[in-house]
């Protein structure tokens, strides 16, 4: 029996049926992606849609992947005119960079790093959380830079007199997401005050104090178990400048010591003050789990 002629312009039929087309414009198919075959045996699974590979990248993301700074800081570097693409200064963070482009930072070529480095530092007091300091004060890079030669930078900040856990990395995507309050990365601070912390004030902090830049929200605040009434533990996920100190200053307390003892599942166990170590593979996976990154 002769085969029925087909229209060459009509979409071909497959074992999964004929692809849907836009009723207004039949030339447009619903998806150009490849759909995987369903399993032959067992429970039927949903088809997996595979997106095409990324062949370009936003400039701020590209700079962050080069280990220059976090994506947020990279945006400022771009706006200041420090980045050139193919010899032309680009100040738009949304500019798309192709694999064949030549990108420079202050005249020096940069490329995305191949090895991601994750360092956990137990920051001592009187150390600045910056790459360098114009007043020649000691920075965290003076500590880790003795053995870590790759370009890494701190995720977030601890003020000069605050001690405790600080993450340094060249993973711009991870740094950006860990710092964003929407991911609610838990941080615990051990606070020692100059006088007993009144229970009424503790309730005020739980409710939320009004500071000059808005309501200071804390996830929890409790007296330290086995400690005195001068010691409290604060759980917080927002990253506003000096937020913990300003909460207690608002209630007329002076913070004698402030120590970050927990950060996104990481603790200070076996990490003395002033020392640092590389994160294990499982710890990196845990951090990425917190922010939903694979």
b (16+ CB within 10 A) / e for 168-181:
bbbbbbbbbbbbee
Are residue 202 and residue 242 in the same domain, yes or no? yes
Are residue 150 and residue 278 in the same domain, yes or no? yes
Judged by DSSP in three states, 63 sits in helix
pLDDT of residue 18: 47
- When divided into structural domains, the chain yields a total of 3
- 235-289 per-position pLDDT tens digit: 998 878 889 999 999 999 999 999 999 999 999 999 999 999 999 999 998 888 8
Give the predicted TM-score (pTM) of the model: 0.66
Are residue 132 and residue 257 in the same domain, yes or no? no
Residues (pLDDT < 70) of the chain are 1-55, 292-294
Are residue 149 and residue 286 in the same domain, yes or no? yes
Average pLDDT, the chain: 81
pLDDT of residue 293: 58
* Residue 115 to residue 150: CA distance in whole angstroms: 9
pLDDT of residue 47: 41
Judge whether 154 lies within some domain.
yes
Judged by DSSP in three states, 69 sits in coil
Are residue 138 and residue 88 in the same domain, yes or no? no
Q: Domain residues for 223?
A: 186-263
Judge whether 94 lies within some domain.
yes
Judge whether 10 lies within some domain.
no
pLDDT of residue 49: 37
CATH number of the domain enclosing 61: 3.10.290.10
Judge whether 130 lies within some domain.
yes
Told to judge if 142 belongs to the known catalytic residues of this protein, a careful annotator would answer no
Are residue 191 and residue 255 in the same domain, yes or no? yes
Are residue 259 and residue 276 in the same domain, yes or no? no
Question: Helix 172-179 to helix 71-79 angle, to the nearest 10 degrees?
Answer: 100
pLDDT of residue 52: 37
Q: Which of 142, 159, 194, 213 is catalytic?
A: 159
pLDDT of residue 253: 97
* Residue 211 to residue 49: CA distance in whole angstroms: 47
CATH number of the domain enclosing 215: 3.30.2350.10
pLDDT of residue 291: 73
Nearest partner of 106 among 88, 87, 82, judged by Cα = 82
b (16+ CB within 10 A) / e for 1-23:
eeeeeeeeeeeeeeeeeeeeeee
Judge whether 21 lies within some domain.
no
Length of the chain: 294
Judge whether 40 lies within some domain.
no
Judge whether 7 lies within some domain.
no
């Amino acid at each position: 029996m002769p085969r029925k002629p087909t229209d060459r312009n009509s979409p071909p039929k497959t074992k999964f049926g004929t692809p849907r087309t836009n009723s207004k414009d039949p030339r447009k198919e619903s998806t150009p992606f490849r759909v995987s075959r369903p399993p032959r045996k067992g429970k039927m699974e949903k088809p997996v849609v595979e997106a095409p590979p990324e062949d370009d990248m936003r400039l701020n993301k590209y700079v962050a992947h080069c280990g220059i700074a976090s994506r947020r800081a990279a945006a400022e570097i771009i706006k200041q005119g420090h980045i050139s693409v193919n010899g032309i200064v680009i100040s738009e963070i949304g500019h798309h960079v192709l694999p064949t482009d030549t990108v420079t930072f202050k005249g020096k070529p940069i490329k995305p790093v191949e090895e991601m480095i994750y360092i956990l530092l137990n920051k001592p007091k009187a150390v600045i959380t910056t790459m360098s300091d114009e007043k020649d004060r000691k920075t965290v890079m003076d500590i880790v830079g003795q053995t870590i030669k790759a370009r890494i930078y701190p995720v977030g900040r601890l003020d000069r007199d605050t001690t405790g856990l600080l993450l340094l990395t060249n993973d711009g995507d991870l740094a950006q997401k860990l710092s964003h309050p929407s991911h609610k990365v838990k941080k615990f601070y051990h606070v020692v005050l100059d006088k007993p912390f009144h229970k009424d004030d503790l309730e005020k902090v739980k409710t939320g104090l009004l500071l000059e830049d808005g309501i200071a929200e804390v996830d929890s605040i409790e007296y330290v178990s086995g400690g005195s009434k001068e010691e409290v533990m604060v759980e917080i996920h927002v990253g506003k400048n000096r937020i913990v100190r300003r909460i207690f200053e608002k209630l007329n307390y002076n913070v004698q010591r402030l120590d970050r003892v927990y950060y996104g599942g990481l603790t200070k166990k076996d990490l003395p003050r002033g020392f640092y170590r590389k994160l294990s593979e499982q710890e990196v996976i845990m951090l990425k789990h917190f922010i939903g990154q694979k």
